[in-house]
A and B are shown apart, each in its own frame.
Chain A
Amino acid sequence: MAEPRSPMAAPQSFLWSRRIFLTLLTGFVLLPVYVMISSSLKPLEDVSGKFTWLPSGLTVRPYFDIWETVPLADYFVNSLIVAGAATVCSVTIAVFAAYAVSRYNFRGKRVFTVTVLSTQMFPGILFLLPLFLIYVNIGNATGIALFGSRGGLIITYLTFSLPFSIWMLIGYFDSVPRDLDEAAKVDGCGPLGALFRVVVPAAIPGIVAVAVYAFMTAWGEVLFASVMTNDTTRTLAVGLQGYSTQNDVYWNQIMAASLVVSLPVVAGFLLLQRYLVAGLTAGAVK
């Protein structure tokens, strides 16, 4: 992506440092990935006794057993619903907010952006306790169950990705020439028409990047999931711990389950990473 740094040939000292550093780093990064994949194909004896680099025999049993040991399919569905809904809502809301900041001058604009961004720095633990109280009290007062329900989790998660999404989309929308939406308005589109017919299509890479980020955030969150879910709404983040609370620790199944639940996000992320990098270049680091 970047241009080659300099026309001058790099000296040997640089090339060797690079080779050694990158090799070591690749080993460090891939070690857990190797353990995850190889252990998920081992029989239980292999993972209960001393660690072995190679399995004594390959088996795909763990991939079938994981669905029986804990209700993994239910957790999977819960995670999909929660992360999917949180992503759709977060991206939609962020598009509106970023459009307002990018295209309009209004009183309180700076206060808004600073406030929204600064919520990123609050320790989660600070608002976990009060949010827990708010959800319980809303439930008592109105009968709308936010505590323990998927809805409560969706609302919570979408606000986690919202500040960063707005921030990144502002950068993206700024890079779409204003003349384009002016032209659309001359053609009779209202401000929202200009947003959806011109600005959004031009900023698709940024919107994709933001969606990936929002989905990953919701899919991987542990703290709120561990407090705000019950047996029927449990997500993968909490459910995966079910394999180790039994008398036996089924490490091969834990590894298989970890792989299965990682696959959707890792595949999505790696496929779309260039949009994320482009988005960061356009918005975040400018």
Chain B
Amino acid sequence: MTTTAAYGTVERTAQKQDPGAAPKKRRPGWLRRVSLPYLLLLPALLLELLVHLVPMVIGIVVSFRELTQFYIRDWTTAPWNGLGNYEIAVDFDAPVGEALLKSFFTTCLFTVLSVGLCWLLGAAAAIFLQESFRGRGLLRTIFLVPYALPVYAAVITWAFMFQRDNGLVNHVIHDQLGLTDSPPFWLIGDNAFFTLLIVSVWKGWPFAFLIIMAGLQNIPREMYEAAALDGAGIWQQIRRITMPSLRPVNQVLVLVLFLWTFNDFNTPFVLFGKAAPESADLISLHIYQSSFQTWNFGTGSAMSVLLLLFLLLVTGVYLALTSRGRKATDG
């Protein structure tokens, strides 16, 4: 459809152009060729510099300074502190370092579970919807609703469902099924971890579904036909053709899911408010609290830089491992 539209446009454009029009004034060819792509990129580049790269450099500088609320108006006057902020952040015997380490492990466990479940649900749903049947289009639309809803609207609804006294969850498991002696708390204490996990999976899996669904469309139909001729059943086709073909898609998808989940701030922030229970204290929220509540930006920046280094390390190792694995199977 796209291509026909394009050809139509060209024809119309071509008709409108007068072939005998006077040649336009042109700047020297080399200037246009060399500078035009850079001019086109300039706005994107400037904005990325302003909002991402310069702040990152400043963040690294600030992490070596003692930046408290007294220096907010001009951060360049904050005194240097050497590695002091990092020493505070990684001193795991002191309260600050201990809390950071705990938050880090919580985030790791949470991320592994959430990414695993999101991928599993997304892959299963995409594969089950690969073949057409009645109601398929409707299901696809329904499955994308969590992705389309704004985070805060969706998460606030879950917060309502997990209320102790007037929520749906306790109504079902305590009042209707009688599974517990007293209605449990879901938004404070140890249960909060599972609450956060459920909400995060609900919100996150449709993205995996969307990407895997797109990936499935690039698998040639002939491969399935050939396998069917060889006598492979549908489960075998999924295992032998679908899964291996999805490998390149999965490689990127899992990485992106990992980074988003590990850095997730919105879900715990809306679910628990500013004070997340210890069991669900994800690292982004933790750093936010230790910076904006104590106004100690130096230590907060040091924590952020450590987080970035960790993510870079994981990404590097992951890409190295998965790319080597792929080359090995190809060769």
Contacts and interface: CB of A to CB of B under 8 A. Distances in A.
B148 to A, nearest CB: 4
A32 B157 contact: yes
Contacts of B48: 115-116, 119, 159, 162-163
Contacts of B21: 188
Nearest to A261: B153
Contact of B52 (A119, A166, A202): A119
Interface string A160-171: 001100100000
B148 A216 contact: yes
B5 A125 contact: no
- Chain B contact-residue range equals 35 or more
B225 A51 contact: no
A166 B157 CA distance: 33
Nearest to B259: A121
Contacts of B177: none
Nearest to A95: B40
A240 B154 CA distance: 12
Q: Which of B34, B149, B202, B215 has the most CB of A within 10 A?
A: B149
Contacts of B175: 50
A180 B6 contact: yes
Contacts of B56: 122, 126-127, 130
Interface in A204-228: 204-205, 216, 219-223, 226-227
B307 interface: yes
Contacts of A101: 37, 41
A124 B131 contact: no
A277 B262 CA distance: 25
B254 interface: no
Contact of B44 (A13, A22, A93): A93
Interface string A89-111: 00001101101110010100100
Contacts of A241: 152, 156, 270, 273
Chain B interface SS verdict (over half): helix
Contacts of A134: 50, 54-55, 58
Nearest to A34: B168
Given A99-B40, A255-B160, A258-B154, 15 more contacts: A17-B128, A52-B171, A96-B41, A100-B40, A100-B41, A112-B45, A122-B52, A123-B307, A130-B55, A130-B59, A155-B50, A176-B6, A183-B14, A240-B156, A280-B211
23 contacts: A3-B221, A6-B224, A8-B234, A10-B131, A26-B142, A26-B143, A32-B154, A35-B160, A39-B160, A47-B160, A49-B166, A97-B40, A127-B56, A159-B48, A162-B44, A183-B14, A184-B10, A201-B5, A203-B2, A220-B150, A258-B157, A262-B154, A265-B148
Interface of A: 1-8, 10-11, 13-14, 17-18, 21-22, 25-26, 28-33, 35-36, 39, 47-52, 93-94, 96-97, 99-101, 104, 106, 109, 112, 115-116, 119-131, 133-134, 136-137, 140, 155-156, 158-159, 162-163, 166, 175-177, 180, 183-184, 187-191, 197-198, 201-205, 216, 219-223, 226-227, 236-237, 240-241, 251, 254-255, 258-259, 261-262, 265-266, 269-270, 273, 276-277, 280-281, 284-286
